[in-house]
Amino acid sequence: MTAWPGPLDNNTDSDIPSLINSGLDIPENILPRLKEVLNKNRGDFGLDGHLGDYPVKVPLNLKEGSQPVSLPMYAASPLKREVIDKQVASWLEADIIEPSASPWGFPVVVIFQKGKPRF
């Protein structure tokens, strides 16, 4: 995953609007602290087409006695299969998902909306 190139103060004002909405009326005395906080945590934000990275473990609290559910994959046309394969490869490469040997599993659905596949 690629982090944002550098501190806010080293970038032109045209780089900042993705972090600070220019439509907001941010008082001048707050702006330096805001930049400091954003710089300190810039890896958490998705900038320049990259995803943010906020590593956190999320507990999944299951009811006692819950049994894993694993459903088979839905049948997919070659076109849908290609969409699935490309998207999964992209997510794996970006560390959005990781290989798993979990007993839990659910099929994915690909639909076409306005002529584009939606995963």
Q: Which pLDDT value is given to residue 42?
A: 76
Q: Which residues pair with 70 in a beta bridge?
A: 105
User: Looking at this protein, which amino acid is placed at residue 38?
Assistant: L
* DSSP designation for 30: T
pLDDT band per the 50, 70, 90 thresholds, residue 77 = very high
pLDDT, mean of residues 18-25: 62
Alpha-carbon 109 to chain mean position? 19
pLDDT tens-digit series, residues 30-74: 888 887 887 788 778 776 667 777 778 889 899 999 999 999 999
Phi, psi of 27 (to 5 degrees): -60, 140
Domain boundaries, the chain: 1-56, 78-118
For 6-17, the pLDDT digits (tens) are: 555 454 433 544
Residues whose CB falls within 8 Å of the CB of residue 20, separated by 6 or more in sequence, listed in order: 26, 31, 34, 38
